[in-house]
Amino acid sequence: MEKFILSLDQGTTSSRAIIFDHKGTIRSVAQKEFRQLFPQPGWVEHDPLEIWSTQAGVAAEAVTQAGLNSEQLASLGITNQRETTIVWERESGKPVYNAIVWQDRRTAAFCDELKKQGLDKLIREKTGLVVDAYFSGTKIKWILDNVPGARAKAEAGKLAFGTVDSWLIWNLTQGKLHVTDVTNASRTMLYNINTMQWDKELLEILTVPENMLPQVRSCSEVYGHTSGKLMGQAVPIAGIAGDQHAALFGQMCIRKGMVKNTYGTGCFMVMNTGTEVIPSKNNLVSTVAWQINGETTYALEGSIFIAGAVVQWLRDGLGIIRSSPEVEKLALEVKNSDGVYLVPAFAGLGAPYWNQDARGTLVGLTRGTTAAHIARAALDSIAYQTLDVLKAMEADSGLDIPELRVDGGATANNLLMQFQANLLQANVVRPKVTETTALGAAYFAGLATGFWEDIPSLEQQWQEDRQFSPEMAPEETESLLSGWKKAIHATISWTETT
C-alpha cells in the first residue's frame, strides 16, 4: 500500500493541507481562509477555534481529494505562522482570549519600557531577538494582565500557552500533548538559544509562569499520535517547524551560507549559519533553523512585515485591482514606477530598521501618476525591502550571496522576480515545488518515520523551475536605490516628533 505524508500549513490568512508522495510531489491541496480581526488600530487577532476548525476541515478534505484513507498516512507534519499567541484552559481546552497575531502592535509601549530599562541587550544575547511587539512573550503577558482572572488561573497551573503548532497538536491529540519545537520556542523571547531551554530570568522579566509553557522537542521525531476519533486512525505527528524554518529546509538550504526568501503576507529571508549562533550587528535576528537527531542548526533572519499584504491592500483598501494576480498586468501597463516609491510600513518597519512607529508612505507623486504606477511601486517595494535585508545578511555573515532561492505566492509574479534579480545583481532561483513551507514540514515528518531515508536523498528531489538573472546595469540599480533610501528616510522622519 502506497504511503503519503500529510502536511498542515497553518498560515496567517488561511489554513492549508497538502498531501505529498515519496517523490515530494503534491497529490492534493485544500485551503480555507479565515477571518482577520482588527479590534483597534494596530491590533490583529484570530479566533483560535476558527484556526482549529479550518485546519481540521482542510486536512480531511486533502485526504479525501487524494482518494486516500488514514491508513495510508505515514505521518503528519505541522508548520505554522510563528509568534501568534494562544492561551487556553487546560481542563476545557477553551481559549481565554483570541489569538494575538504576530503582526499585532499592542505591546509596543511595553517593549519601549524594556529598552529604557536596558534589558534589550540581555534579551538579545539570550534569545537572538530584538525587543519588539512581534514576538510572543509580551503578548502572553498582555493576556495575563488584561483578561480578568487569567493571571490567577495561570499561577494555579490551569492555563496553557502555545504558538499555533502547540494549539493544533493539543486539539489533534484531544489534550494529551502540550509540546512545541525548538524553532517556534526560539521566537517567543522566552527561550535561550544558547542553552536550548526556557529561560527563568526572561520568564521573570515578562512575568510569565513557567507551568504554562509547552515541552520543547526537536523538529523531526514522533511526538505522539492523532486521536483515532479525528482521523479514523491514529496518525503519527512527527514534524514541527515554524513556517520560515520549514521553508529553509524545504528549499534544501542545508549548507552554511545558503539563503531563501519566502514571499508571503510578509517576506522572510533566512540564511543557514551552520552550528553556530551569529550575533547580528545589523538588526537581523539570530534564530534556530532546526534541530534533527540532537544537532542544532542556526540561522540569521530578516523579517519584512508587509510584502504580499501590500497587494491585498491595493485590492481591498484602494480597490484598484479585483484580485491579487491582476497586479502584474496592471503594473506592466507602465515601464517603471516613474519615481513613485511606496514604503508599506503599515505595521511598522521590520528588518533592518525595526522602527515600530513607522507608517506607510507614498512619495514622488505627480499629476501624471496612475493606478499602474502605484501598483508598480507596490511590487517594487517588496524587492527593495528584500535587498535591504540581504545586504544586512552579507554584512553580518561576511559571505557574498550569489543566489537567492525564492518561494511563496508572489514568486509566481515574473515581473517582481526579474526586478528582484536586477536589484540584487544576483540570480533569483524559483523551484518547481514552490510550496516549500509545507514541503519542509513533510520532510521533517517523513525523516522521523523512515518514509525518507536521509537528507541527501531529499536534496536530490529539489528541482529548479526558473532562474532570473540580472538584466539591469548596476548604475541604473544604484539610481533606483538612492530613491528608495530617500523614501525610507521620509518614512522614518514622519515618526519623529518636532
pLDDT, mean of residues 455-472: 92
Residue 193 maps to a domain: yes
Question: What does the alpha-carbon distance between residue 354 and residue 373 come to, in Å, rounded to a whole number?
Answer: 27
Q: What confidence tens digit (pLDDT) does each residue in 39-58 have? A: 998 899 999 999 999 999 99
Residue 48 maps to a domain: yes
Annotated binding site for sn-glycerol 3-phosphate: 12, 82-83, 134, 243
Please report which confidence band the pLDDT of residue 323 belongs to, taking 50, 70 and 90 as the band edges.
confident
Do the Cβ atoms of 182 and 196 come closer than 8 Å?
A: yes
Residue 323 maps to a domain: no
Please determine, for residue 435, whether its predicted confidence score (pLDDT) is greater than 90: no
pLDDT, mean of residues 14-32: 95
Residue 42 maps to a domain: yes
pLDDT, mean of residues 166-194: 96
Q: What pLDDT does 388 receive? A: 93
Please determine, for residue 267, whether its predicted confidence score (pLDDT) is greater than 80: yes
Please determine, for residue 230, whether its predicted confidence score (pLDDT) is greater than 60: yes
In Å, how far from its chain's centre is CA 79? 9
Place of cell 536521509: 454
Please report which confidence band the pLDDT of residue 401 belongs to, taking 50, 70 and 90 as the band edges.
confident
pLDDT, mean of residues 67-72: 89
Q: The C-alpha cell of 179 is what?
A: 509540546
Question: What does the alpha-carbon distance between residue 262 and residue 405 come to, in Å, rounded to a whole number?
Answer: 9
Q: Which residues contact 403 (CB under 8 A, 6 or more apart)?
A: 259, 426, 427, 428, 429
Kindly report the average pLDDT of the chain as a whole number: 93
Place of cell 544576483: 426
User: How much of the chain, in percent, has pLDDT values that exceed 90?
Assistant: 77
Please determine, for residue 462, whether its predicted confidence score (pLDDT) is greater than 70: yes
Please determine, for residue 306, whether its predicted confidence score (pLDDT) is greater than 90: no
Q: What confidence tens digit (pLDDT) does each residue in 127-157 have? A: 999 898 989 999 999 999 999 999 999 999 9
What is the domain-level CATH number for residue 18?
3.30.420.40
Question: What does the alpha-carbon distance between residue 419 and residue 468 come to, in Å, rounded to a whole number?
Answer: 9
Annotated binding site for glycerol: 82-83, 134, 243-244
Q: Which residues contact 220 (CB under 8 A, 6 or more apart)?
A: 238, 239, 290, 292, 293, 444, 445, 447, 448
pTM for the predicted model, two decimal places: 0.88
Residue 331 maps to a domain: no
Annotated binding site: 12-14, 16, 82-83, 134, 243-244, 265, 308, 312, 409, 413
SS (H, E, C) the chain: CCCEEEEEEECCCEEEEEEECCCCCEEEEEEEECCCECCCCCCCEECHHHHHHHHHHHHHHHHHHCCCCHHHEEEEEEEECCCCEEEEECCCCCECCCEECCCCCCCHHHHHHHHHCCCHHHHHHHHCCCCCCCCHHHHHHHHHHHCCCHHHHHHCCCEEEECHHHHHHHHHCCCCCCEEEHHHHCCCCCEECCCCEECHHHHHHCCCCHHHCCEEECCEEEEEECCHHHHCCCCEEEEEEEHHHHHHHHCCCCCCCCEEEEECCCEEEEEEEECCCCCCCCCCEEEEEEEECCEEEEEEEEEECCCHHHHHHHHHHHCCCCCCCHHHHHHCCCCCCCCCEEECCECEECCCCCECCCCCEEECCCCCCCHHHHHHHHHHHHHHHHHHHHHHHHHHHCCCCCEEEEECHHHHCHHHHHHHHHHHCCEEEEECCCCHHHHHHHHHHHHHCCCCCCHHHHHCCCCEEEEECCCCCHHHHHHHHHHHHHHHHHHHHHCCCC
pLDDT, mean of residues 243-252: 94
pLDDT, mean of residues 370-382: 94
Residue 424 maps to a domain: no
Q: The C-alpha cell of 242 is what?
A: 515554524
Q: The C-alpha cell of 17 is what?
A: 493541507
Annotated binding site for ATP: 12-14, 265, 308, 312, 409
Residue 419: name the closest of 317, 349, 492, 334 by CA: 334
In Å, how far from its chain's centre is CA 332? 29
Do the Cβ atoms of 279 and 398 come closer than 8 Å?
A: no
- Range(s) of the domain holding residue 49: 4-244
Do the Cβ atoms of 126 and 137 come closer than 8 Å?
A: no
Residue 268 maps to a domain: no
Please report which confidence band the pLDDT of residue 497 belongs to, taking 50, 70 and 90 as the band edges.
low
Annotated binding site for ADP: 12, 16, 265, 308, 409, 413
Question: What does the alpha-carbon distance between residue 415 and residue 380 come to, in Å, rounded to a whole number?
Answer: 9
Q: What confidence tens digit (pLDDT) does each residue in 74-105 have? A: 999 999 999 999 999 999 999 999 999 998 99
Q: The C-alpha cell of 415 is what?
A: 515581473
Residue 489 maps to a domain: no
**Where is average pLDDT lowest: 177-191, 290-304, 397-411?**
397-411
Domain count, the chain: 1
Question: What does the alpha-carbon distance between residue 302 and residue 129 come to, in Å, rounded to a whole number?
Answer: 11
Q: What pLDDT does 498 receive? A: 55
Q: Which residues contact 148 (CB under 8 A, 6 or more apart)?
A: none
Question: Phi then psi for 97, rounded to 5 degrees?
Answer: -160, 165
